[in-house]
């Protein structure tokens, strides 16, 4: 585990307040994760962030000479909110996720001492630092396609005193050189589950990844089969780069506005975009009593992968991706 530099406790009170807020939201049930969030200094991983408004984006920086702007930067860093950290030509490339969502994901990862973890999507390095604090940096591998993001994450981690393996590479291909893994966690949305991940997992491994607008938690049986359900939590992440694009829902004209604005229906609409006509999806949604995310699941096998409602054997199943 990393040895922290002397200055990381400058904002200990702010970190403690954030931990209390996350815990009040129902996360951090594991005391080890509560200790990690209390110890890892988020401000070292978000030296600047962007606020978007009608006039474009505004960059808030921790070393701004204006004390009021520095205070706004700090309030954002230790608020329970997602922060845009890398923008190019108006397009969001990377962000620091909402801490309470990160905490829920780490709780659901169900790690134990000695587990080897692959993180797909290095981001700022903050999540890798939390994993390193919990498991030891030697058990953590973080992967990102963008070499600039990789170098930035390494720099942030070094400032905080952690040195997990952070590599540049296509997250959809995993990291065979560091396999096998007991856990894979993605911090970017995937259009379907990359089959390469299964082959890099030990039997019984757990995969947690944003899919559609939810979080799928898969249990790996072997290198060609995994299955699991979605968590109740909604999740919105930047897409995985380098892999296939997520399919978009087909023509939605004529669908009721109330349905299109409903978060749960949009989840089903996105999950079934490559297979179901949107009007079929709406009919299914009403027929099944507007099912919540946790009633849906995904099966990955050597012959393909499919999403399902309630039961992987049907009657409601459709190809994924």
Q: In what order do the strands lie in the sheet with 181-186?
A: 165-168, 140-144, 117-120, 181-186, 201-211, 214-222, 225-230, 296-301, 304-309, 317-319
Asked if 256 contacts 278 with a C-beta cutoff of 8 angstroms, the reply is no
Peptide bond into 101 cis (omega under 30): no
Nearest-angstrom CA–CA distance, 71 and 5: 22
| Full-model pTM | 0.92
pLDDT at 95: 87
Report pLDDT for 198: 97
DSSP state of 172: G
Degrees, nearest 5: CA angle 228-37-240: 45
CB atoms within 10 A of CB 317: 17
Q: How do strand 304-309 and strand 225-230 relate by DSSP bridges? A: unpaired
Torsion-angle region of residue 56: left (phi > 0), alpha (psi -120 to 50) or beta? left
Q: Quote the pLDDT of residue 91.
A: 74
How confident is the model at residue 245, as a pLDDT? 64
The verdict on whether 132 is a catalytic residue reads: no
**Alpha-carbon dihedral sign for residues 104, 105, 108, 109:** negative
Residue 243 has a pLDDT of: 62
The rounded radius of gyration (Å) of the Cα atoms in the chain is 20
Residue with token string 């999507």: 121
Domains and CATH numbers, the chain: 6-169 (3.40.50.150), 257-319 (no CATH)
Among residues 57, 94, 152, 192, the one annotated as catalytic is 94
**Listed residue (122, 105, 120, 121) closest to 156, CA to CA:** 122
Return the pLDDT at 284: 96
The per-residue pLDDT for 104 is: 96
Structure tokens at 58: 């505004």
Q: Give first-to-last CA distance, the chain, whole Å.
A: 38
**Quick check: bond before 59 cis, omega within 30?**
no
- For the chain, residues with pLDDT lower than 50 are 1-8
């Amino acid at each position: 585990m990393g040895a922290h530099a002397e200055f990381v406790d400058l904002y200990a009170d702010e970190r403690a307040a954030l931990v209390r807020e996350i815990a009040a939201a129902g996360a951090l049930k594991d005391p080890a994760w509560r200790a990690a969030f209390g110890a890892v200094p988020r401000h070292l991983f978000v030296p600047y962030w962007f606020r978007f408004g009608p006039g474009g984006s505004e960059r808030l920086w921790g070393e701004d000479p204006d004390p009021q702007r520095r205070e706004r930067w700090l309030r954002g860093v230790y608020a329970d909110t997602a922060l845009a950290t890398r923008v190019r030509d108006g397009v969001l490339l990377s962000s620091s996720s909402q801490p309470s969502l990160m905490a829920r994901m780490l709780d659901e990862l169900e790690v134990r001492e000695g587990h080897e973890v692959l993180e797909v999507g290095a981001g700022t390095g903050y999540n890798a630092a939390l994993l390193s604090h919990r498991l030891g940096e030697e058990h953590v591998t973080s992967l990102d396609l963008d070499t600039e993001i990789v170098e930035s994450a390494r720099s942030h981690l070094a400032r905080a005193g952690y040195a997990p393996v952070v590599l540049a590479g296509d997250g959809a291909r995993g990291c065979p050189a560091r396999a096998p893994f007991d856990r894979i966690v993605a911090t970017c949305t995937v259009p379907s589950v990359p089959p390469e991940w299964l082959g890099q997992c030990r039997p019984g491994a757990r995969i947690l990844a944003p899919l559609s607008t939810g979080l799928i938690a898969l249990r790996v049986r072997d290198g060609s089969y995994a299955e699991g359900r979605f968590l109740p939590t909604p999740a919105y992440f930047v897409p995985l780069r380098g892999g296939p694009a997520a399919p978009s829902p087909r023509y939605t004209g004529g669908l009721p506005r109330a349905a299109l604005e409903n978060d749960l229906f949009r989840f089903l609409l996105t999950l079934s975009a490559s297979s179901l006509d949107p009007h079929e999806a709406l009919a299914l949604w009403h027929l099944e009593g507007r099912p919540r995310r946790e009633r849906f699941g995904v099966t990955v096998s050597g012959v393909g992968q499919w999403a399902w409602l309630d039961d992987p054997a049907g009657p409601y199943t459709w190809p994924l991706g």
